[in-house]
Amino acid sequence: MIYSVLLFGTFVVLGIPAAVIFLPWAIVTGNVMPLYHVAQAIVRVGYSLAGIQVQVEGSDLIPAKTACIFMANHVSNLDPPALLPNIPGRTSAFIKDSLMRVPVFGLGLRLAEFIPVDRSGDRESAQESIAAARRILAKGIHITTFVEGTRSPDGRMLPFKKGPFYLAKETGAPCIPVSIWGTETMMAKGSQRIRPGTAHVIFHEPINPADYQSREDLMAAVRVAIASGLPEWMRS
């Protein structure tokens, strides 16, 4: 448990003074970037102390000055902190709506324009989330989504949710498939125990939604791309 203590302890020890300084700044000025950057720095420090290395491939494939939709598989709670700091510029993300209610942390998420998702399957709430994502993309801010909608219990890819593909077809924003692996052995679903290791984050060639006649075709193409960067046993 020592690595768990080191990681979460770093988040608390550095996160509290950062919140005291940068949350009011973001509220008063409307500029969330200092808060965004310091949060990334805290994640990197915490990962380093916990013995977590992040190996990134394919960053050069991400189009410059273009708001994209990053679509990743999801195998561990360590995935978002491994992925988000390695996305150039600024990204929003679809997150569980319950996180928005966490004191202080939820305020930071709202200021960064993260998008709450009601996981009950309510159609109206889903439409509101997609509409919010459209507005954020229009500002030139990326969207990040874990397209399975939840963490895989065993590392194998789950069926994808349709919402992100509605968004991609409606906006035409390039889809960047992302393969994540290694984290499934470092922090399993349902566990708070962290083991040191290497998280692999692989960005793939952008996929243009306009090249596909249907959402289903686009979904299949993204799935093939993500699977191509995963170990064989995780692909099914």
Torsion of CA 235, 149, 188, 104, to 10 degrees: 150
pLDDT score, position 121: 65
CA dist 74 and 159 (Å) reads: 11
Task: Flag whether pLDDT at 122 surpasses 80.
Answer: no
* 48-72 average pLDDT score: 96
Note the helical H segments in 84-214: 105-111, 123-138, 163-171
pLDDT score, position 126: 77
**Residue that wins the pLDDT comparison between 200 and 102:** 200
pLDDT score, position 5: 92
State the pLDDT confidence band at 26, using cuts at 50, 70 and 90. Answer: very high
pLDDT score, position 158: 96
Specify the DSSP element, H or E, that contains 93: strand 91-96
Task: Flag whether pLDDT at 128 surpasses 90.
Answer: no
In the beta sheet, which residues pair with residue 143?
Answer: 69, 92
Task: Flag whether pLDDT at 120 surpasses 80.
Answer: no
**C-beta neighbour count of 58 within 10 angstroms:** 16
Lowest mean pLDDT among 51-65, 125-139, 173-187: 125-139
Q: List the one residue out of 17, 49, 52 whose CA is nearest residue 35.
A: 17
pLDDT score, position 2: 92
Q: What is the pLDDT of residues 168-210, one digit of tens each?
A: 999 999 999 999 999 999 998 778 899 999 999 999 999 999 9
* 123-137 average pLDDT score: 87
3-state secondary structure of 118: coil
pLDDT score, position 85: 96
Task: Flag whether pLDDT at 217 surpasses 90.
Answer: yes
Average pLDDT over the chain reads 94
CATH class in words for 52-234: alpha beta
CA dist 141 and 73 (Å) reads: 21
Q: How far is CA 85 from CA 88, 140, 176, 191, in A?
A: 8, 17, 15, 23
* 76-100 average pLDDT score: 94
State the pLDDT confidence band at 216, using cuts at 50, 70 and 90. Answer: very high
State the pLDDT confidence band at 148, using cuts at 50, 70 and 90. Answer: very high
* 158-171 average pLDDT score: 94
User: pLDDT > 90: what percent of the chain?
Assistant: 83
Domain map (residue ranges) of the chain: 52-234
Lowest mean pLDDT among 91-105, 159-173, 199-213: 91-105
